[in-house]
Structure 1
Amino acid sequence: MDVSVDQSLCQGAAQCVRSAPQIFDQDDDGLVVLLRQPGSPAERAAAHVAAVLCPAGVITSGGPA
């Protein structure tokens, strides 16, 4: 699974950080930062949930494969 983010559209809601803190963080402006690609099945599932929960739709993932 390849996860990507479009920081230019981020609204800073932090749903990604709440659902997958090992994958996402926020910068000093409160915008999403992709820390690393998910590795384990649990991390891939968490990244997929983060993508679904993102109100701005800035996270894309290939699903919880």
Structure 2
Amino acid sequence: MKIKADRDVCIGAGNCVLAAENVFDQDDDAIVVVLEESPQDEDAESARNAVGSCPSGALSIEET
């Protein structure tokens, strides 16, 4: 899996960080930052939950 974030679409809600703090962070403007593009194990499951809970649809998963 590879996590992708469209920073132009992100609204800074922070749901991704709450769901997967090892995979996502936010910059000073509260816009998403991907810390781990290819998470493994429990972080992968958390990342899937984060993508599903993103209110703006800024996050996606590319299966590799």
Q: Same fold by TM-score, threshold 0.5 exceeded? A: yes
Contact 1:6/1:58 (<8 A) preserved: yes
Q: For the aligned residues, what is the CA RMSD?
A: 1.3
Aligned partner of 1:52: which letter?
Answer: G
Count of matched residue positions in the alignment of Structure 1 and Structure 2: 63
Query: Shift of residue 61 of structure 1?
Result: 1.1
- TM-score normalised by structure 2 residue count: 0.90
Report what 1:4 is aligned to.
Answer: 4
Identity of aligned residues (%): 35
* Structure 1 gaps, min length 5: none
In the alignment, the residues of structure 2 paired with residue 38 and residue 44 of structure 1 have an alpha-carbon distance, to the nearest angstrom, of: 8
* Structure 2 gaps, min length 5: none
Of Structure 1 and Structure 2, the greater strand share is in 2
SS in 1 for 2:21: coil
Query: Shift of residue 40 of structure 1?
Result: 2.2
- TM-score normalised by structure 1 residue count: 0.88
Report what 2:27 is aligned to.
Answer: 27
Report what 1:18 is aligned to.
Answer: 18
Query: Shift of residue 47 of structure 1?
Result: 0.5
In the alignment, the residues of structure 2 paired with residue 34 and residue 6 of structure 1 have an alpha-carbon distance, to the nearest angstrom, of: 10
